[in-house]
Amino acid sequence: MATYALGDIQGCYSALRRLLDVCAFNPATDRLWFVGDLVNRGPESLQVLRFVQSLGEAATVVLGNHDLYLLMLHAGLKPRNSRDNLNDILTAPDRDELLRWLARRPLLHVEGQHVMVHAGLLPQWTVAKAQELAEEVQSVLAGKNAQKFLLRLMGNRPDYWENKLKGWGRLRVIVNAFTRMRFCTPSGHMLMRAKGPPSDSPKGALPWFSLPVPTPREHTIVCGHWSALGLYRAPGIIALDTGYIWGGPLTALRLEDGEVFQVRGE
């Protein structure tokens, strides 16, 4: 049995299947960890969603910002721009089933010594605290206020975690940290508009994983989201978004031994 963690798929079904062939993935014995952003940008979001759902317990998925955006569109949000590529899902006959399944995916998955999340963890959070907050959001997504929540989710404020936060702002900052964060100030303020590589860190900010944490973490965080960072491995972090949609490779990493597998565009 092997567990393969995969970088952002973003609607690139053909590339995903080629990568699984390279990995020699066996759905009967192996498992796949998807770091979020299954959909959007690429041309085959519907095929990706159907395939990953069909894998059942062989696939573990955390929500990314593009996955949440799809749920927001379904809830009634107006599309952002012409680059969005989600209409095939929104008009599919099995749309409701697929999106119910997607909405039940967690924001965080903890197993053994690994933590999987789309973007990252704020330095103020222990893994236990992050689990608690992820479950708080998940309960809203699965509840009667899901549509209200999704229509109030977009925005960059608050940009700093405080335990006293309440309401939609509290949920928004949790989701932004898990699914959108790249850079933070030493005080833990998220800089949402900064998207470049770590070498272009805004003044006074650092990559979220470079900030000191009050309580040392024993887990390795497996994430995606940051294509300008690329494949990045350091103590405590494995980042797997290598920007296939922008011309880079699509990447998988076998958690048991760290071996990397990649495919490029045909």
For each successive 10 residues of the chain (266 residues), what is the average pLDDT?
Answer: 97 98 97 98 97 98 98 91 88 98 98 97 95 98 95 94 96 98 94 92 93 89 98 97 97 98 91
d(C-alpha 210, C-alpha 123), whole Å:
9
Please give the sequence-ordered ranges of beta strands (E in DSSP) within 29-145, or none if there are none: 31-34, 59-61, 108-111, 114-117
**What pLDDT, on the 0 to 100 scale, is given for residue 184?**
95
Side-by-side strand order, sheet with 190-191 = 190-191, 183-184, 206-207
Using an 8 Å Cβ cutoff, are 206 and 190 in contact? Answer: no
Residue 264's nearest CA partner among 3, 7, 4, 5 is 7
Q: What is the total count of domains within the chain?
A: 1
pTM exceeds 0.85: yes
3-state secondary structure of 262: strand
Q: Do you know the residue count of the chain? A: 266
CATH number of domain containing 240: 3.60.21.10
pLDDT value at residue 74: 95
- Buried b or exposed e, range 251-260, using 16+ CB within 10 angstroms: bbbebeeeee
Q: Greatest CA span in the chain, whole angstroms?
A: 50
Which structural domain, as residue segments, surrounds residue 160? 3-263
Compute and round to an integer the Cα radius of gyration of the chain.
17
What pLDDT is stored for residue 78 in this prediction? Answer: 86
